[in-house]
Chain A
Amino acid sequence: MFIITNVIKNIRRNTRKSAIYFAVCVAATLTLQVYITSIDRTQRQLEDLPAAMPISARVTSLDGWRHEYLDIKQVTVDGLFESPFVEDIEMTALAHALFLMKSADTTGLSDTDYSFNLLLRGARVAAANKIELLKELAPEGITWLTGYGPEIFSGNELVCVVDEYVLELTGYSLGDSVRYTRMLEDMFDYYGEPKYVEIGALDSLKVVGIMEETYDYSVALPLETLRQICRDFEHPFTASTASFSVVDTLRLNEFKAEMKAIELVDTSSGEGAHNREVRANALGVNDATFIGAATRLQESLSLLRGFLPLVAIAIAAVGYLVAYLAVQTRREEYAVYRLLGIGKSKGFFLFFAELAALTVCGSLLGAAVSVASGIGGIRVGALVFALFAVCFTVGGVIALLRLGRTNMMTALAQQE
């Protein structure tokens, strides 16, 4: 009780010194708030960077120029679909199909007899997981079977859209299921000549749309349908194009390591120039702007954080200096308290409580003013208050410990 009443009385009696000490606390807290807010804002800018600056990537040829008609291996395709760093994949694939004529009588014919008897009609097949990826295909130019539409491309039903010419040749019409379809992988050999690798034959591929004639392909399938067919016939699936958005872009290095693991060559490392694998593909990532911005922010952040210990020491030094100046002229007062029988620890605490009360009130006011003036949020304000109070108090305690070493005999023997 004695200490509490004396703290209040002493603060009031030492009005000028208390006011100066209080003002220093407020000013120092405001300064610290500006500093910590800078760190907080930079940190938030860095965290918001992926949303503000999205990164997209696409699979390319080794030289980085071509991104169509590629031969993207299954390990790469599966890896892309499974990767936590990848979303919004847009992928296409090319294949070939041989449709059995609707009216063909296949009684007694072996598999190999079909083509010799001109019972099969060939057609280029394009598969995609979004209709917009299929060039030359105007969605409004498709006649859909009731209950079907462009969304079929994001599914995996055994459905297809066939151009009117092929339908006319084969005799099928909208809503029919093709009795016998032979799927072939549409590949090119080393010299660029087409070569077909058989995937397998299946029944009941349902025609759900009729499209106008296009130059590149006559049949369009959902990508997942073609992948499923490949899986069913245990045939490796290859894609023709692939592009996607990168997720969690602040971990770009981990992303690139994962892409390397699924056999996408990192062209930025120069690795592509020395790769002689014919089927190899590279990854093109438009991350230069992002990396530049993120690097600048990370450098700023590490610089600001690096100075934080020095700032803490500076606050403690100011705390020490202000406390030292505040109490050094009160050595006689301290000695008189001791002379009147106040113990060393109680005498220390008497002065400490006074400084602590001023520090807490000053830093609370400083934090409140800075929060109210929009310098930083309540969370930062609370952090600043705590950091300042601790650092400043440490400085004050050191000053008071020096006061506690006052030689009472010397201090009291001094003549006025």
Chain B
Amino acid sequence: MNEITAQEIHYSYRTKYQTVYAVKDATFKLESGKVYAITGESGSGKSTLLSLLAGLDLPEGGELAVDGADMRAKDRNDYRRREASVVYQAYHLLPLLTVEENVMLPMELLGVAKPERKGKAAELLARVGITEEKHKKYPKMMSGGEQQRVAIARSLAAGGRILLADEPTGNLDSENGKNVIDILLSLAHDEGYLVVIVTHNPDIALQADEELRMKDGVLGRV
């Protein structure tokens, strides 16, 4: 059972000309087994909020906790290694690693033995619909939809139960987009993952269990 709680968190960053208040006093609670959609205009602070949930940075104020543990007190590298993983619009697969090696990488970082991680990678790739003959291919040799599914398989490899997705269908056609969303919905509803999707797409937002809308850094429930 995973739970993320935020209490009046805020975050700002400086550009060359101004200070941008990306997240303003956001308060929310996210539970496992559900899909949350964070929607909003470009620059409204959605991706920044997702990065805070991924532990890539810390909120400047307020309290962000995972299963009751304050993010400030956590080893955030270990959090990303074991508990939460992120899928991006640009896939971010390592281009010089094969599909299989990309999926095995998080397990390698956890010290899982090679035969075991090879077996688990095959299992995860099968689950997201990547056939075995493509395991030895390099990411650039695959379609966008396939790359995104490999990215999802990689994010599941370490065994974390929090899955964060930043515009996961942004580069995909509608069919591939639908496949990816189906996988994410299934992970939450069938296996109890906590899934957060940042999206512009209202159709995806409609399929989510809950939609959180951001506007100028302020988060509101729809």
Which residues of A does B touch, CB under 8 Å?
A: 2, 10, 13-14, 332-333, 335-336, 338-343, 408-409, 412-416
Contact = CB atoms under 8 A, between A and B. Distances in A.
A341 B155 CA distance: 11
B90 A343 contact: no
Contact of A409 (B48, B109, B171): B48
10 contacts: A10-B96, A336-B94, A339-B54, A340-B81, A340-B158, A341-B80, A343-B77, A409-B48, A412-B88, A415-B171
A206 to B, nearest CB: 99
A409 B51 contact: yes
A416 B91 contact: yes
Contacts of A415: 89-90, 170-171
A340 B109 contact: yes
Q: Is the interface of A mostly helix, strand, loop or mixed?
A: helix
B108 interface: yes
Contacts of A343: 77
Nearest to B54: A339
Contact of B96 (A13, A342, A409, A413): A13
B51 A340 contact: no
A408 B96 contact: no
Chain B interface size, under 10 / 10 to 19 / 20 to 34 / 35 or more: 20 to 34
Contacts of A339: 54, 56, 80, 86, 92
Interface of B: 47-48, 51, 54, 56-57, 77-82, 85-86, 88-94, 96-97, 105-106, 108-109, 111, 158, 166, 170-171
Contact of B108 (A2, A335, A336, A409): A2
B186 to A, nearest CB: 23
B57 A340 contact: no
A340 B171 contact: no
Contacts of B78: 341
Contacts of A408: 51, 56
B96 A341 contact: no
A325 B91 CA distance: 24
Contacts of B108: 2
Nearest to B57: A409
Given A340-B109, A341-B78, A341-B109, A409 B56 contact: yes
A392 to B, nearest CB: 24
